[in-house]
Structure 1
């Protein structure tokens, strides 16, 4: 079982490309014979993690990939690190705006993704889909969900063999205002890219050793 998640719209937007892209990826992977469930998460601190945990307990997936929007980025970002910090620049969809709070009280400072992010990056490049390994998932609800996911996978015996991680997606190029120069990508390419990451994770037990770091 593969669990894919995206977010509901936030910040005044009417759609969220992470959810649309996940639906595209779900269709692609199901057509290939994979058992896949897609879940739309609320853009709300706390509630998003609870909804995700309930789904994981119910479905017992072997692979969980959560996605979210990173407006301003021009490619898929394979997130490497989730940090135990909620620090919201804007309120979430319920009006919550935590500042310098832990995602999980007393939890580790950070978790690394257990996806083969380097191998996935190489596979995306071969497929002609713009991608990068990112060193920060921010401190908003995306990071909140990423951290909660990795904490649950690392601390729950029934999930010991499961793998998980997070992908940020750009704006949907079809929904940019006319004349906008904001970086964007087609939802089809996003969905194809998510499917590439899923296939790579299912096929790869040891990640590739290649440079994908950052100077700053």
Structure 2
């Protein structure tokens, strides 16, 4: 009877020890689990966290824009420099710019004659190509053409430096009821009468076609 009671008590103690042993093992396992979880969180190996909005910060990049290609040392591939426009040179003061050659149909000389007893006013126009037109009063105009030699002689007489020195007004005594001649050559006007005439002026009159400007009414 006593032995049975002792065995029962011993079995109860052994059972209690087994319960404590299992409880301790469970507590130890829980402690190890918690410790492992803390270590994992400390080392950054825990649950992933979503990155901040906008993504990770990136390195500052240089502004983009057109780039200038570097000069190549190879003459075959290098770009030649752009041509430069030479500066304009001003015409020195007092210098006359060259004029274009006159065309054939431009007026070489115009002679208007007026006066006389009848009070005429007639006209003779000669062009550079030698063609001429003569008008006398109300009559139909007469036309003609000088030979190349005759046209060259008239041009030479008008371009003679001596003609450029002819006075623009008559120098001799006026002739009663005489005629007055107005010659226009390249915007220069010379007025002459039937009186004394310089040789350069006489040369121009001698070279005029059809005997000069008509003096008939």
TM-score normalised over the length of structure 2: 0.20
Larger radius of gyration: 2
Larger RCO, structures 1/2 (Cα 8 Å, 6+ apart): 1
TM-score normalised over the length of structure 1: 0.20
